[in-house]
Amino acid sequence: MNKALSLLIVTVAVFGVGLLGADAAWAEDPADPASPAAAGGAAAVPAAVPMIPGLSLVGAGLAIIGAGIGIGAIGKSTVESIARQPEAAAAMFTPMIITAAMIEGAAFFAIIAVFAKG
């Protein structure tokens, strides 16, 4: 199995596990007096996926593990590239930091999404 297919499978698995444990955030609570459903408006949107308690924590954990692996791979590749071509170290450093920051931002988003769920 090639790397692209493996990455696709892991990505789908992580997001799938996260979705199984996620609440339907867009659904309105008919018991809430500020809800249009309580005022005779549109009915509440039912949850499309079954809620499994705690499963979103597993999805966030997998996302964090994936981010750690990704940042480690970026560092490894950069160090190998600098070892092969030391004069290009300055040109490699900035893209490495930007890429690692983007991966770390995605991991922080996964953590915040789990804890904002309540």
Listed by start position, the domains of the chain span 3-117
Q: pLDDT value at position 114?
A: 78
Q: Write down the pLDDT at residue 12.
A: 62
Would you place residue 74 in the very low, low, confident or very high pLDDT band (cuts 50, 70, 90)? very high
pTM: 0.55
For residue 117, the model assigns a pLDDT of: 64
Indicate the burial class of 18 (C-beta count within 10 angstroms; 0-12, 13-18, 19 or more): buried
For 3-117, give the CATH class. Answer: mainly alpha
Average pLDDT, the chain: 74
For residues 94-104, one letter each, b for 16 or more C-beta atoms within 10 angstroms of the residue's C-beta and e for the rest, the string is: eebeeebeebe
Q: Are 73 and 29 in contact (CB under 8 A)?
A: no
Q: What is the mean pLDDT of residues 82-97?
A: 92
Q: Which residue has the higher pLDDT, 58 or 18?
A: 58
The residue-averaged pLDDT of 91-106 equals 91
| pLDDT tens by residue, 19-57 | 555 554 445 555 555 555 555 555 555 555 566 777 778
pLDDT higher than threshold 80 for residue 71: yes
